[in-house]
Structure 1
């Protein structure tokens, strides 16, 4: 009962995170990309501040913890290889987030209030929107792959 519950929770949280990354890739960043510099900087800063909350952080890191726990609970079981691959894929997703996306987010927030920034075009350019978007697509692929592996593990268990 516990093993199935943990695997189910890992699958659901990972699926939710894949969805978050996808919505950024599919709608949020393309929409922001079409705005002027002030709107881009202000909206991105506001969204980044809003997403740092207990629910998001719990899902983001909780997925990794749940996948790891599922791997421990499924030692010696047929579903284990799927869970291990999911863990690795999601671990790389977390690593990319921490090493690439978060520092870009933090630098943009550190630029200050858009109403007080003298050169918004420079701040936006320094943010490196193309890099953020490209690495977010990598997160989409990796987290979706992790979700798919976990679905396969659920079917195998």
Structure 2
């Protein structure tokens, strides 16, 4: 495979996978969490617990892990070109996506795990307190990771445009 073909394919794969993850986080921000906000405490806890189990599947992992891997591959394939081409936006996209992964790991996943542990083995003693500890911080962190992934997606689109011009 020619280097130019590999460069283009890695950027396309990075853009698609980043777009999928960005769209997932956006969907939570504009529909799932606002919809859950209109329900009872027990419903929020139960639904989020089920979502946290259901999302751990191969399709999610392909996008979530594929995005930084394909972006890193694209960065590696463009290193020799210098900063005039797509390298700058590719590095920016990788930084933004990794930052979103850090937010996800440190906040969203930590809160998901705490939600799972709440009332483990039995009913949740105080669903309102569990919801308060979970919902606000989770939603704020999700907005941050949505913004970071959307910026990464925009940078990848910019990199593709620069690749086509160059």
TM-score computed with the length of structure 2 as normaliser: 0.89
Give how far 1:13 is off: 0.4
Q: Quick check: 1:106 aligned with 2:119? A: no
Structure 1 counterpart of 2:150: 144
TM-score computed with the length of structure 1 as normaliser: 0.94
Q: Show CA shifts across 1:82-106 (max 9, x none).
A: 1000000001000100111100011
Give the 5 Å matches for 1:2-151: 2-77=6-81, 78-112=85-119, 116-127=123-134, 129-151=135-157
Query: 1:42–1:113: 8 Å Cα contact kept in structure 2?
Result: no
Which residues of structure 1 form unaligned runs of 5+? none
1:22 and 1:115 map into 2 onto residues whose CA distance is: 33
Over the aligned positions, Cα root-mean-square deviation in angstroms equals 1.4
Give how far 1:121 is off: 1.4
Aligned length: 156
Which residues of structure 2 form unaligned runs of 5+? none
Q: Show CA shifts across 1:3-56 (max 9, x none).
A: 111110000100111100100000000111110011111011001110111211
Query: 1:25–1:137: 8 Å Cα contact kept in structure 2?
Result: yes
1:106 and 1:93 map into 2 onto residues whose CA distance is: 18
Runs of 4+ in 1 over 3 A off after TM superposition: 112-115
